[in-house]
Structure 1
């Protein structure tokens, strides 16, 4: 059998070869931005989800619909 599938290309010219040879583990371990991005994402997603749920609650939606209706009535 040939060992060609396990051997990396000298220059990865296809997109899939570039992804396969990208040293992601090295960057995650040696650059601070990756770790802070992951921590920031983990912290901010629940906060933004809570804001989204509050902003789109039925009571808030009906309140803003009433405000928009009043504004539209003033302009006519």
Structure 2
């Protein structure tokens, strides 16, 4: 028995199974030739600080207290 492991490389003409479709999908082609992958990381870097600031404003103690009061008034009107 040899120490080398031979790689079997015989792709299907048409990948019928889901795992064969995943294995034969040309990921490198799409990552290098589509614009969306090039700007994805940039958009994440730009959007995270914006979303963080919106979240901080929405969850500030003053805003939470304000909305608790609004909900209390609405609940009092319905009873």
Q: What TM bracket, shorter-length normalisation?
A: 0.5 to 0.7
1:56 corresponds in structure 2 to 59
Q: Output the CA distance in 2 between the equivalents of 1:35 and 1:12.
A: 28
- Following superposition, the deviation at residue 74 of structure 1 comes to 4.5
Structure with max Cα Rg: 2
RMSD: 2.4
TM-score (norm 1): 0.66
Uncovered stretches (5+) of structure 1, i.e. residues with no partner: none
- Give me the whole-angstrom Cα distance separating, in 1, the residues matched to 2:10 and 2:62: 61
User: More deviation in 32-41 or 22-31?
Assistant: 32-41
Any gaps of 5 or more consecutive residues in structure 2? Answer: none
- Structure 1 residue 37 corresponds to structure 2 residue 40: yes
Structure with the higher helix share, 1 or 2: 1
TM-score normalized with structure 2 length: 0.65
Aligned length: 75
Superposed, 1:1-76 pairs within 5 Å as 3-4=7-8, 6-74=9-77
